[in-house]
Structure 1
Amino acid sequence: MIGEFGHVGVLYGGSSAEREVSLMSGTGVHEALRSKGIDAHLFDTGRYTLVDLISAGFDRVFIALHGRHGEDGTLQGALELMGLPYTGSGTLASSLAMDKIMTKKIWLQAGLPTPNYVALTAESDPEAVARELGLPLIVKPPHEGSTLGVTKVETVEALQSAYELAARYDDEVLAEQFIDGRELTVAVLGKGKSVRALPVIEIIAPDGNYDYEHKYVSNETQYVCPAELDSALTEFILRVAEQAYVALGCEGWGRADFMLDQSGKAWLLEINTSPGMTSHSLVPMAAKRAGMSYADLCVEILSTASCKVRTPSTN
């Protein structure tokens, strides 16, 4: 089966604010695939064009990009037009999952638990927002990841500066109810009836601050896998992760992030459709706990590469 993959491109780098993380992810994936005898080659979408991608002659690509123009459906749409099979979710699911406001609307419609929110504008009344969501609250750009532009707002007076920071990254800004508790994450693999969640991971960051530094650089953050939860709660979180993934139409792989509040209720925060694959990343950690090596995980994801839009038969 390894030989059936053909000439494989690992798309990494890109031009988003998460470029540095993507460079690490792509390098890891490339090395893993090569270790399995796969003819894999790195391709930096931040340096080369779609014309270059066509000229490279890849048979399929592994998307190791994070953020805009890699995880948001734009690249997926181009790959569909090229007829080039790719890993992960399709254009619509990628776009929806990248937009945390649209994600929340879909999850709420599906009856899934996610914190209350307000879409902020420059004209939003800070006192009204604080009354609706309570304090503290979280302000973030809804189309970014890796905690970029995120602020925990403790006072009404601090809301404006938090808005301005998030607005540097995004045209929209999301204010979200703050959930005080334990941070959990669940990797999900597959599509449709074959969807399966991997073991729950608990993230314990210094002072509860799981920022960019503590995600990708520091060794101070602790990870507990599987998370120390009772069996019923574990099963509930695994099923909610799968439901959240399916509700958005995700496929291939992804990672659902949760907060577990002081009363033991789990809240969905977001789904990443192209999660990190660095040495600090969570999907490989969960896969390892489930008995799957990093290289085997990469091969399984690559094996699901496909175009999602079917071309009508001309017969």
Structure 2
Amino acid sequence: MADLHRVLVLAGGLSPEHEVSVRSGLRVAESLRRLDVEVQTADVDAALLGRLAADPPQAVFPVLHGAPGEDGVIREVLEISGVPYVGARPDACRAAFSKPIAKSLVAAEGVPVPRGVTLPKAAFRDLGARELVDRIAAALGLPLFVKPDQGGSAFGAAPAATAEELSNALVSSFAYGDTAMVEERIDGTEIAVGVVDTGDGPVALPPVEIVPDGGVYDYSARYTAGRTEFFAPARLDGAAAGAAMDAALTAHRALGLRDLSRTDMIVEPSGRVVFLEANVAPGMTETSLFPMALQAAGMDFGITCRELAHRALLRG
């Protein structure tokens, strides 16, 4: 069996999530170094292809959030470069990165999803913004939640309790993409469930409960220490926790994901679990949910990262 000695961690990128990606990559790199793995770090730039050709690593650990880190582009580049890497293949990344597609695929497997609509910016220009906003509010009911159809870290995502707030939320969403999803706002316990596969098949980690101090888990609440209270494992009864873990595994498989993922969900007071979205490159910062879930499962973060990189090496 091949031994793992050298890993390249990709972090940074050009998306609005650059800073988070850098912090995630730094944590992965430091954790691997503590286990005597030689680690190099790199951003996605014009030097990357030459670097991969001149000094190919045994495995690449992409910790890139947003496009092109999660939309399949970098994974395609690694595929054609013949370099093994941690995480989902390009086609699965594309399916998960598009929230409407992911929602449809997961719903087809029987997991509840919010009612909603997905509309491009052009529709509001061509059909009349006020009329279309009123029609959406009447069809779905208020309150609603708006977010870009792609991307993460809650950029461009906002709740809307009135038609005016819905208009403002759409403007915010369109600042981060040309298409917006408008969904019914689901009340309940907000959770994230990680899935990890170090060689024996995907396993769901304990759900992590998210309680932001302002009620909305936005960018500041995600990455500012003290802004959000986390419970790992989540304060759910056994049946609800089990249903959430099953839903995360279903999403992981339905989207064709590999190695690791994180699924965001809401658990309603009735215990019904509602899928929100899936992430192929979960955050790895000190306030990120995937590492918290590993700790709750009794798994060491660094060892898990090493096992994932080793699994990629063996695939290569």
Which bracket does the TM-score occupy, shorter chain normalised? over 0.9
Contact 1:67 1:145 in 2 (8 A): yes
Please tell me whether residue 83 in structure 1 is matched to residue 82 in structure 2: yes
Answer with 63-72 or 155-164: which moved more.
Answer: 155-164
Q: Residue in 2 aligned with 1:313?
A: none
Q: Which segments of structure 1 move beyond 6 Å, counting only runs of 4 or more?
A: none
Normalising by structure 2, report the TM-score.
Answer: 0.92
The residue matched to 1:300 in structure 2 has which SS? helix
Kindly provide the amino acid, as one letter, of the partner of residue 85 in structure 1.
P
Of the candidates 199, 210, 217, which is equivalent to residue 224 of structure 2? 217
Say if 1:172 and 1:55 are closer, same or farther in 2 by CA, change over 3 A: farther
Aligned residues: 308
Contact 2:86 2:309 in 1 (8 A): yes
Aligned-pair Cα RMSD in Å: 2.0
Identity %: 37
Please tell me whether residue 175 in structure 1 is matched to residue 182 in structure 2: yes
Of the candidates 296, 301, 305, which is equivalent to residue 289 of structure 1? 296
Contact 1:192 1:246 in 2 (8 A): no
> Displacement of 1:51 after TM fit?
2.7
Distance 2:68 2:314 in 1: 17
Q: Residue in 1 aligned with 2:30?
A: 31
Normalising by structure 1, report the TM-score.
Answer: 0.92
Distance 1:198 1:188 in 2: 6
Contact 2:247 2:273 in 1 (8 A): no
Distance 1:273 1:306 in 2: 19
Contact 2:240 2:267 in 1 (8 A): no
Which segments of 5 or more consecutive residues in structure 1 lack a partner in the other structure? 311-315
Please tell me whether residue 245 in structure 1 is matched to residue 244 in structure 2: no
The residue matched to 1:298 in structure 2 has which SS? helix
Kindly provide the amino acid, as one letter, of the partner of residue 67 in structure 1.
G
Distance 1:135 1:192 in 2: 45
Please tell me whether residue 104 in structure 1 is matched to residue 111 in structure 2: no
Distance 1:306 1:93 in 2: 20
Q: 1:124-203, aligned counterparts within 5 Å? A: 124=124, 125-190=132-197, 194-203=201-210
Which segments of 5 or more consecutive residues in structure 2 lack a partner in the other structure? 125-131
Distance 2:182 2:198 in 1: 31
Q: Residue in 2 aligned with 1:208?
A: 215
Contact 2:198 2:308 in 1 (8 A): no
Task: Map Cα deviations across residues 107-129 of structure 1 (whole Å, 9 max, x no partner).
Answer: 12222111111012343511221
Of the candidates 250, 264, 269, which is equivalent to residue 271 of structure 2? 264
